[in-house]
């Protein structure tokens, strides 16, 4: 088992050269990278293609959400860049998600359920009388019906989702990963790398634990050790 394939490093920089330096340093220790709004809003498609030249799998995490026609046209522009993965918000509704899935080509579509910066108190403030488990399950079923390839959620929801979804090939993607619980930053629903893998995650989105480390490679090695330790006791 090559445990590095579980790790996608979030490249949350705006500077292309800084991003390329980090990617070149960690490339052989991770399975891929995630490019989000921070990078893409500054550098756009040109910057994305510059990073793509490095030959590493890329998750383009722009969390698209708008009326179906707008999202479909926007997604087509992004799919033309040939990212390996592209994210959309499942709360955009079944039609929006189906429209994107229909044009995905070789890009895998990942559905965003509930941001890991939110918890039950936020759902209540939005007017939802649901737990995060029920809310995420409802969105996951929309995504499953539409034919998404993967679901983005907290690791704590994965065991519940595996019981309630029919697609046994669903790719569970987990942000909010921290080596140490005291490093929560702006996240609320967090898990360690190993616990996320034990729960069933197949892709871990890890940013600051690597990118803000004085020794990114050593941090990745610590993450890999945690994954291996828990993987042996998985399910």
Residues with catalytic annotation? 63
Separation of alpha carbons 71 and 218, rounded Å: 40
CA angle 101, 23, 13 (to 5 degrees): 75
- For the chain, the straight-line distance linking the first and the last C-alpha, in angstroms and rounded, comes to 16
Find all residues with CB under 8 Å of 202, minimum gap 6, and list them: 6, 150, 171, 172, 173
Contact 116, 154 (CB under 8 A): yes
Contact 156, 191 (CB under 8 A): yes
What 3 state SS string does 83-114 have? CCEEEEEHHHCHHHHHHHHCCCCCCEEEEECC
- Structure tokens given for 112: 């965003």
């Amino acid at each position: 088992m090559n445990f590095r394939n579980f790790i996608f490093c979030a490249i949350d920089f705006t500077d292309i050269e800084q991003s390329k330096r980090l990617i070149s340093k960690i490339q052989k220790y991770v399975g891929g990278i995630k490019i989000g709004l921070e990078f893409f809003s500054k550098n756009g498609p040109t910057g994305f293609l510059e990073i793509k030249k490095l030959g590493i799998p890329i998750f383009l995490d722009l969390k698209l959400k708008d009326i179906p026609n707008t999202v479909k046209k926007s997604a087509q522009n992004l799919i033309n860049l040939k990212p390996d993965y592209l994210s959309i918000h499942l709360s955009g509704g079944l039609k929006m998600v189906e429209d994107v899935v229909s044009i995905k080509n070789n890009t895998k579509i990942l559905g965003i359920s509930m941001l890991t910066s939110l918890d039950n108190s936020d759902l209540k403030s939005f007017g939802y009388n649901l737990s995060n488990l029920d809310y995420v399950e409802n969105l996951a079923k929309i995504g499953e019906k539409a034919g998404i390839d993967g679901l983005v959620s907290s690791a704590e929801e994965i065991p519940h989702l595996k019981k309630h979804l029919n697609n046994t090939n669903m790719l569970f993607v987990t942000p909010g990963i921290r080596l140490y619980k005291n490093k929560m930053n702006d996240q609320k629903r967090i898990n360690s790398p190993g616990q996320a893998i034990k729960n069933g995650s197949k892709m871990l989105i890890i940013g600051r634990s690597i990118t803000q480390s004085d020794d990114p490679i050593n941090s990745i090695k610590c993450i890999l050790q945690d994954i291996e330790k828990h993987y042996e006791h998985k399910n």
